[in-house]
Structure 1
Amino acid sequence: MPDDPNAPPYAASAASASAPPPIPPRTRPPVRDRTGLAILLMCATSFIFALQDGFSRVLGEGYPPALVVMIRYWVFAVFVIALVSRQPGGLKRAIRTRRPVTQILRGVILALEVMIMVEAFVRLGLVETHAVFTAYPLLVAALSGPVLGEKVGWRRWTAIGIGFAGILVILNPGGGVLQIEALLPFVAALMFALYGLLTRHVSRDDPSMVSFFWTAIAGAVAMTAVGIWDWQWLAPIDWLWMVGLCLCGMSSHYLLIRAYELAEASALQPFAYTQLVWVSILGVVVFSEVLRPNVVVGAVIVVLAGLFTLWRARVKSA
């Protein structure tokens, strides 16, 4: 994947509504010794993303996922509006896009992907959902040809093949996760990959601030159309979970923005995989999930394959 600051990180937290943050233009190259701080911020962001997924699972077990995601997107939209209002040009500039249909489409795709991930958390658990979802960077590499017309060499195709072999290890044909529910995180990964490619496509004409704005607004409208039919008041204790979810969402996006201000996206993307570690710890300790050996081995294979595709894309871009 090209070293594009508009490219979303791995952390596709179902609660985070991950989107390219509005990165202010740098007046000078990033200072080298600040990369360490940026990496720490990315790791902290990944930890908060994992917490968000835990909140999402708790709420998704008691309420329709569409309702949970709708409320989350309402807060997310308010946060984005407040954020872009402080950028040069404000809301007036953020609304102007040269690709309105594509911007709306990518926002809707991400919102639906978030909803599917919440459903997967409830049905499969955090560990197995994220283990399958780690195929996302491989899907980006595989789809970059037909969607963006980019050339994918034999090395990356080999890594993609190895990565999908890792997915088979996770699914464990004949047992384990191999059931219809296992399709949920894979479909979510496919949708997030498409969202990422569309983000890179619109970045040719629109700045990241515009994409950030349309991601929130289009997603909030789409989730309102879907989730309003499941409306119900949350129990008082569940509103506390929702507040925690929303606070994590705002803080994670702020840290993500700060990280991208301090270092290039390609230097930070590998550390976004630490979310898988935090999610595994949370799933085992808090939700009593079982960490199957085949899931660990398969996830390692997929992550290594994904890191290789990122490295090859960076080499090719350089």
Structure 2
Amino acid sequence: MSQKNNVNAGIALMIAATIVFALQDGISRHLAGTYNTYMVVMIRYWFFAAFVIAVAARSAGGLRTAAKTEQLGLQIFRGLLLAGEICVAVFSFTILGLIESQAVFICYPLLIAALSGPVLGEKVGWRRWAAIGVGCIGVLIILQPGAGVFNPWAVVPLISAFMFAVYGLLTRYAARRDSTATSFFWTGVAGAVAMTAVGVWFWEPMARTDWLWMGLLCITGALGHWLLIKCYEMAEASAVQPFAYFHLMWSAILGITIFHETLRPEVVLGAAIVIAAGLFTLWRERRKSRAG
């Protein structure tokens, strides 16, 4: 499959994905605050899997074409990795809140930049490594590991960020040989099978109004990941990733207005440093592409 390299379209898709993901995070926090995380993620994946199967069935070639891949192990691993990352992220929302979780999670574009060399074969120069190092300082400011009040749970969104970075890179890698439809199909099906195996053991009755929120969560889940897969198909990972920082802005707005969270000065400073480091990597990437 030949990949496109339309940076502007990739950026637009990434920003759209951040809006959808922020809404999804807010709904997830609301539901997981009342019900078991595994059950919430499982129900969301049921809809996700049904949606991707329906899309595949109506596309040219049907289910057989969508499911066909020479990278079955990679596609299944991607699906399992994303399902696990979602569980970790939702758990983080319930113990730290949206703002604190996302302030740490936004380091994942820097993790992608660091891993793009060994995973995708992209060249990572010393300037990008310097930016990654500065971003790590920003994360440390947010976490405050030397403070007497350090919350060990703050490491949870860092684990989530690493898992999501690997998922993003593997999605880009898979797109070299598989279509968006194939990656989308296996993301939903593999994740649904894994979450069902775990989530059925944690079933709880759900209030009628919360089923409406669950329905909206299902819709945003499917849409967000389709936008992300399409984004990676359109443009280089290093070119679009810095725009993932919009996610923090939308999440902060939701956290403050809906969940009455507060912004710690350390979080603002640390997040600003991480974002600045990410934007520097974007500037370097554009300069290199123009020079080439």
2:245 aligned partner: 273
TM-score, length of structure 1 as denominator length: 0.80
* Contact 1:54 1:282 (8 Å CA) reproduced: yes
1:151 aligned partner: 123
Which amino acid in structure 1 is aligned with residue 107 of structure 2?
A
Structure 2 unmatched ranges of 5 or more:
none
1:90 aligned partner: 62
Percent identity between the aligned chains?
56
Tell me how far 1:258 sits from its aligned partner: 8.2
Greater shift in the superposed pair: 43-52 or 159-168: 43-52
Asked whether 1:99 is paired with 2:110, we answer no
1:294 aligned partner: 266
Which amino acid in structure 2 is aligned with residue 53 of structure 1?
D
Asked whether 1:180 is paired with 2:152, we answer yes
Structure 1 unmatched ranges of 5 or more:
1-22
Distance, in Å, in 2 between the alignment partners of 1:133 and 1:154 is: 24
Tell me how far 1:87 sits from its aligned partner: 3.0
Tell me how far 1:208 sits from its aligned partner: 2.3
2:23 aligned partner: 51
1:243 aligned partner: 215
Tell me how far 1:237 sits from its aligned partner: 2.0
Seen in structure 2, the aligned counterparts of structure 1 residues 109 and 176 have a Cα distance that, compared at 3 Å, is farther
Which amino acid in structure 2 is aligned with residue 198 of structure 1?
L
Which amino acid in structure 2 is aligned with residue 143 of structure 1?
L
Distance, in Å, in 2 between the alignment partners of 1:142 and 1:260 is: 17
Tell me how far 1:180 sits from its aligned partner: 1.8
* Contact 1:171 1:177 (8 Å CA) reproduced: no
Asked whether 1:142 is paired with 2:114, we answer yes
Which amino acid in structure 1 is aligned with residue 35 of structure 2?
Y
Greater shift in the superposed pair: 165-174 or 219-228: 165-174
Asked whether 1:161 is paired with 2:133, we answer yes
Greater shift in the superposed pair: 298-307 or 213-222: 298-307
Which amino acid in structure 2 is aligned with residue 217 of structure 1?
V
1:15 aligned partner: none
Aligned residue for 1:103, secondary structure, equals helix
Distance, in Å, in 1 between the alignment partners of 2:231 and 2:193 is: 29
Tell me how far 1:46 sits from its aligned partner: 2.4
Which amino acid in structure 2 is aligned with residue 156 of structure 1?
R
Distance, in Å, in 1 between the alignment partners of 2:281 and 2:25 is: 26
